[in-house]
Amino acid sequence: METLSFLMQGFAVALTPESIMFAIIGAILGTLIGALPGLGPANGVAILIPLAFSLGLSPTSSLILLTSVYAGAMYGGRISSILLNIPGDEPAMMTCIDGYPMALKGKAAEALAISAIASFIGSFIATIGLVILAPILANFALKFGPSEYFALFALAFATLGGITGKNQFKTLMAAALGLMIASVGIDISSGVQRYTYNILELFEGVDFIIAIVGLFAISELLFFIEKHAGEGLKKVTVNKLKLTMGDIIAVLPTSFRGALLGFVSGVLPGAGASLGSFISYTLEKKVVGDKGTFGQGDARGIAAPEAGNNGAASGALVPMLTLGVPGSGTTAVLLAMLISLNVTPGPMLFTQNADLVWGVIAALFVGNLVLLLLNIPMIGIFVKLLSVPPKYLMPIVTLVASVGIYSVSHSALDLYFMVGFGVIGYILRKVDVPLVPVILGMLLGPEMEKSLRHALVLSDGDWGVLFNSGLSIGLWTVAIMGLLLPVIIGPIVRAKMAKSKTATE
Amino acid sequence: MKINNSFKTIALKSVMATGLMALVSSAQAYEPARTAECIAPANPGGGWDFTCRSVGKALVDLSYIKGNVQTVNMSGAGGGVAFAHTVSKRSKDDGLIVAASTATTTRLAQGQFPGMNSDQVKWVGTLGADYGIIAVATDSKYQNLNQMMDDLRKDPNSVKFAGGSASGGWDHLKVLITAKEANVTKLPKIKYLSFNGGSEALVQVVGGHIDAFTGDISEVKGFLDSGDIRVVAVLSEERLPAPLNNIPTALEQGVSSVAPNWRGFYVPGDAGNDSYDWWVNTIDELYQTQEWKDIMAKNGLMPFHKTGAEFTQFVKNQTLDIRILSQDIGLIK
């Protein structure tokens, strides 16, 4: 009941004209970013963080804007999957399987509308899940002492690659790079400066936000330059929408199943949206059996993965808000932004910053409704925006990024760092080293180090403290599983994903 | 405003005395009267940012400054980047103030701004303080400060503290100052666990993982309201105003430990005497206004006011005290 009254207060925050405006702006920008192939939700949020800084937004407004971008990007990913058979982002891959055949049959508008409804249901149910689960987990989180946190961070690192991850070695390399960058600056446990060479600007370490914007946004720019991608994507026309109530009802059970599965895989560290959409799709195929026409444009084959990946997106917010441990790349980026705004995520966020948390959760509901309303009648506009040449888009992105980074600290050095990170990001992407582990390494590394040292101080140097509670033993067990499972069952899952994809082509 | 006028007259005289070249630079000495810049040496949202923005707004609202006071965030090295910037690039700027606090003097004392010291800037004054506290979880066995200090005297390892500053930072020093006053020996043996900010440290104390919390009174307000913690001592000279007046001071428990985290400003070292005097007078007047009293009440700032020569002496003493303490416990050589 208490939760409900908090949620109502949240709606009071989310329904102010200012919040609604930011939710709408975020939803539109997010959908657009999601729709552009290559720009995923993590990039989208990374690109727009500087915007929040340069506008001088309050923590609540910034978070509303960026979570709407996040939700929007999950919606947007399906547009190019359906129309062009190119997933807008990784989680939208499964949507290609039935979305594109449907579009080929001249039912692109229906495919887009059904997927929008499924996305809405996925997000909506998962947000309800967030409302129920987050406060419970927040209370539980008080049980986490330094040794439990250390085990949790170990778990986060162990599951970094995710079950669908391709190359564990490259993931580890990327995480190690992040750890190295994070070791620059003052060591708070001893007060000693590390790798700062008496350069004052380095005393507080390298700012996550600069690294994020550089790695994601600037490297994106370099890729566009390289591809000389002057022209937009080929023009696509969408037929007139003929959707009956029956069509919607037919996909409702599918969407509910997908939403729940997505939420669960979002909450679990390392699983994430890609897995959420994959499991939802395969389960749906099993449930429906031979009656379905999966792979040839079955509406349920669009609804399941879309509900799944949107559900996972909201689910991933649970560990980020309650424990301060991000479960996915995008939530890592959101976490970095919260820290920059002097908001400390963790169990106390729900009591100490109730306005902010519940405002954002309520804004997720509002944002979803906005997204549904935007995505059905206005789909034509998004399709047109897809064909805006990047030569106009990328300079704007770069401008916003530079102004935003400069306005944070008024230091030209930060801009050099941003460009430097951009070049590093470009090189890493060229050799297929994932960028998200770099960020997670930067974010989690110092926390992990701190937890370990604290645990050892509290136990007067006894390493046994790391395994002295049921909770930490449980976390270690999951961590070991997270490290071994991808090696064992990863190839099987990936082979299945590839098979179901190629089967359609 | 009367102050403005007299300031302008003095400034005008100095302009005539120093000739044409100085005219250009001294013309900027009028700046404090029209516009000013306040550097907050941290990202938006923290204490220094608050100091700049609230003082800037009050100065404009009360028309001490006709134009506006722009807050510039310049984070880095715990204020070191802003300090270096002020010393090296803005040493003559009359229109610049920089927010400072006990964290600034702590770092200066411990030589954490390499090659810089407190004499390189002029210290204007303070507009309030956030007092240090030592707190425990509500179910802790410690009811008062003396029980805790007794245990520390027997075994300095028996009570472990969590705080929001780095090791050797102000939160850590508060414990050491208190323990030293309570005749605890073996100060370096007292365990201090550093977290990123007070609330993270508080969660660990409330969760029962760490014995005690050291921080500022403003950091624990929410936790006091929810009944999660008990403050065993506030490190102020007198009890704090209501509703915090039921918290005992360390002094009344026989431990003469006072630890204000003051909020104030410095100006560049070569700023004109006229502009320095103007800032000192303005801060003195602002402190008396109802507007500022309201801001203090709203944001949990406690009375603490020193300006000009008195403040400069205070900074010198505080820096010296911290340096000696840091040497005692082996933080610096």
Per-residue pLDDT tens over the stretch A273-304: 777 888 888 888 888 877 778 888 888 888 99
Q: Rounded mean pLDDT of A298-324?
A: 88
Selecting from A146, A203, A341 the residue whose C-beta is nearest the C-beta of B78 gives A203
Which stretches of chain B are DSSP H helices?
2-27, 31-34, 47-61, 80-89, 102-109, 145-154, 170-181, 198-206, 217-225, 273-288, 290-299, 308-328
User: How many angstroms away from the CA of A411 is the closest CA of chain B?
Assistant: 7
Higher local confidence (pLDDT), A105 or B22: A105
- pLDDT at res. B4: 46
- Which of B204, B211, B225 to mutate to test binding with chain A, by most A CBs within 10 Å of its CB? B204
Q: Is the pLDDT of residue B30 over 50?
A: no
- pLDDT at res. B21: 41
Ranges A100-109, A206-215, A238-247, B277-286: which has the least confidence = A238-247
Selecting from A142, A190, A191 the residue whose C-beta is nearest the C-beta of B206 gives A142
- pLDDT at res. B1: 39
- pLDDT at res. A269: 67
Distance CA A442, CA A175 (A): 8
Q: pLDDT tens, A25-35?
A: 998 888 888 87
Q: Is the pLDDT of residue B17 over 60?
A: no
Selecting from B78, B168, B207 the residue whose C-beta is nearest the C-beta of A143 gives B207
Q: pLDDT tens, B202-245?
A: 889 998 999 999 999 888 887 888 888 999 999 999 998 888 89
- pLDDT at res. A105: 85
Closest residue on chain B to A353 (Cα)? B222
Selecting from A200, A339, A351 the residue whose C-beta is nearest the C-beta of B226 gives A351
- pLDDT at res. A454: 93
- Check B113 against A143: CB less than 8 A apart: no
Q: pLDDT tens, A72-100?
A: 888 888 887 888 777 767 777 788 888 88
Selecting from A198, A203, A351 the residue whose C-beta is nearest the C-beta of B222 gives A351
User: How many angstroms away from the CA of A171 is the closest CA of chain B?
Assistant: 27
CB-based contact (8 Å) between B193 and chain A?
Answer: yes
Q: Is the pLDDT of residue B3 over 50?
A: no
The torsion region of residue B69 among left (phi > 0), alpha (psi -120 to 50) and beta comes to beta
Q: Rounded mean pLDDT of A21-45?
A: 82
Residue A210 pLDDT grade (very low, low, confident, very high; cuts 50, 70, 90): confident
- Rounded to 5 degrees, what angle do the CA atoms A74, A78, A83 make? 155
Contact residues, chain B, for A52 at CB < 8 Å: none
Percent of chain A scored above 90 by pLDDT? 13
Q: pLDDT tens, A347-399?
A: 778 877 788 888 888 988 988 998 988 888 777 777 777 777 777 777 877 88
Residue B7 pLDDT grade (very low, low, confident, very high; cuts 50, 70, 90): very low
Residue B9 pLDDT grade (very low, low, confident, very high; cuts 50, 70, 90): very low
Among the ranges A158-172, A289-303, B57-71, which has the highest mean pLDDT value?
B57-71
Higher local confidence (pLDDT), B93 or B7: B93
- pLDDT at res. A359: 87
Q: Rounded mean pLDDT of B269-286?
A: 91
The contacts of residue A230 (CB under 8 Å, 6+ apart) are A389, A390, A391
- Where do the domains of chain B lie, and which CATH numbers do they carry? 2-130+261-328 (3.40.190.150), 131-253 (3.40.190.10)
CA A384 to chain centroid: 25
Contact residues, chain A, for B72 at CB < 8 Å: 410
Higher local confidence (pLDDT), B29 or B82: B82
- pLDDT at res. A322: 86
Nearest CA among B199, B187, B121 for reference residue B162: B199
CB-based contact (8 Å) between A56 and chain B?
Answer: yes
Distance CA A134, CA B257 (A): 41
Higher local confidence (pLDDT), A15 or B21: A15
Q: Rounded mean pLDDT of B50-55?
A: 89
CB-based contact (8 Å) between B168 and chain A?
Answer: yes
DSSP H or E segment with residue B160: none
Higher local confidence (pLDDT), B147 or A212: B147
Report, in angstroms and rounded to the nearest whole number, the Rg of chain A calculated over CA atoms.
22
A385-421 residues labelled b (16+ CB within 10 A) or e (exposed): bbeeebeebbeebbebbbebbbbbbebeebeebbbeb
Q: Rounded mean pLDDT of B25-30?
A: 41
- pLDDT at res. A142: 84
Residue B10: how many CB atoms within 10 A of its CB? 17
Q: Is the pLDDT of residue B177 over 80?
A: yes
Contact residues, chain B, for A187 at CB < 8 Å: 166
Ranges A114-128, B112-126, B195-209: which has the least confidence = B195-209
Percent of chain A scored above 70 by pLDDT? 91
CB-based contact (8 Å) between B331 and chain A?
Answer: yes
- Check A342 against B195: CB less than 8 A apart: no
Single-letter amino acid code for the residue at A403: V
CB-based contact (8 Å) between B144 and chain A?
Answer: no
Contact residues, chain A, for B204 at CB < 8 Å: 145-146
Closest residue on chain B to A348 (Cα)? B203
